Structure 1
Amino acid sequence: MSRIDFKGRVAIVTGAGGGLGRQHALALARRGAKVLVNDLGGTRDGSGGSVSAAQAVVDEIRAAGGEALANGASVTDAAAVQAMVQQAVDAWGRVDVLINNAGILRDKSFTKMELADFQLVVDVHLMGAVNCTKAVWPFMNAQKYGRIVMTTSSSGLYGNFGQSNYGAAKMALVGLMQTLSIEGAKNDIRVNCLAPTAATRMTEDLMPQEVLQALKPEAVVPAMLVLAGEDAPTRTILCAGAGTFEAAHITLTRGAFIGLGDDAPEQLAARLAEVTGRADDQVPQSGAAQGTNEVGQAMAAARAAR
């Protein structure tokens, strides 16, 4: 079993001034990466800002003998993000790894949530990752190598009361990963998602103390290192927390051909359990799988009717 190594690699970690992002940055540096530590330095809801949080992590990395730079850009500012990536390229000549970790919370039930709070959470989580990925993409294409990790969440994959904004943004990152992994394949850009369960500033008042003790952010890091390493998979959603690792899949059932008769709605309602049954479900390799399955069954039904 060979050690996952990042010697000679350059990594950017967003939201790395504390919590999970800090652990990601420290782990990458320990394994040889040069790390640009990005953090706006704001509060949990995204207000305020200071580069001091990022600088503290940089100082920690340097004290341990590593190389690091601090950056205080907001991931929602596309121009500042471009300058951040250029900062890494100017210093080290390349960017190999991007960990899209920056995020905020503005939790409320959908009934009580202001649209501005919905928009801001989507801007930080989704558009922040888009801005950062767009900025590194040409460099990764040119060097024919890249590893990008999107931070999704069980709140997006499966839902969570009071987090419609957060869940929507986090599930959107899965969709982004699905397409970028296809588009990046020819130049060895591998794109994956990490769904962490960790006790951080984002979750400190959401869980009992004994649970928080089990959910150390460090326990998520091995999954990040696998998804960002040279032998990383692509189009994989790894879930991690408390030392346990799982995978989530977006699957497609075989379904049933019902046709276009006037009673198609009633037929579908009557056979819904068959349509949703997972005995023969698959993990599609692209969105075309749905159409292929549908047309295939329609053609088979037409042949049988002759």
Structure 2
Amino acid sequence: LCIIKLIKKNVLLRVIKTVVCIFLTMLLCYNGKEKFEIDILDVGQGDGTFIQYADGTAVFIDGGSTSKDKIGKYTIIPFLKSKGISEISYWFVSHADEDHINGLYELMEAGYKIDNLAVSQSAAKCDKKTAEITELARKLNINIIKLSEGDKIRITDEDRIECLYPYKNTVSDNRNDICLTLKVVSGSFSAIFAGDIPTETEQVILANSNIGKTNLFKVNHHGSKGSNSKEWLSTIKPDISVISCALKNNYGHPADEALLRLENCKTRIFYTMYSGQISIIKDDKENLIINKFLENESAAVR
């Protein structure tokens, strides 16, 4: 009996030592700082992107789908819970088409905490649906930010979100023509999110903005043939391009013409319809780690 007690005591001591060692290792490795991360969610036919800066600031761009029911309840909220995110500091709306905002509506109506809702100043003036969502936000005490070209939201000294388009006096009854176009910056890293802008709007931006090369490009209009022009791609020269769309959709997304232009500019192309959620994480050495939810492979891009 004494021998059995001694064995049990020794086993317990080893377990305690192991747990203590694991805890101390985690404590030593933890530097109190999150890594910059972008998650392009698999929302089917739509868009939804989560961004977390290293200081913990949580950002969302769009959030909707026309191929998945209750995308807010069954995809966006579970994702945010899995990340331990109970509050979004800035939620950007590129434009008010259903495949970009119906999930956001669900979160707002469910009382999810959103500090700031950012929309295009042009859309706020001339688009009824944008006016509706800003009015709902106002009733929920969410601060409204109306952006136009040149405006910047600073997160830290090295982190910011820049508005590249629309311009202050831009007016159109076509939502795609006045999509909020954003440049997300974290240190030396940059990413472009431009909603569903068409080729004509791409040309306007190129003619009036020093947009430059980017690391990550969330492909315009789900890979539409009427977007992602050769001139646009040859200017931004993206290392990584992500297409968000459903495997089966009525729009022909992504179009063969757009894919050919992307391939010709030597960018690495990822698809939510094949890989599910796609995560891009910036490590301490400024490398980008790409993880695909439906495939057990990752890649580093310097």
Query: TM-score over 0.5 for the alignment?
Result: no
User: TM (normalized to structure 2)?
Assistant: 0.34
- Greater share of residues in helix: 1
- Greater share of residues in strand: 2
User: TM (normalized to structure 1)?
Assistant: 0.34
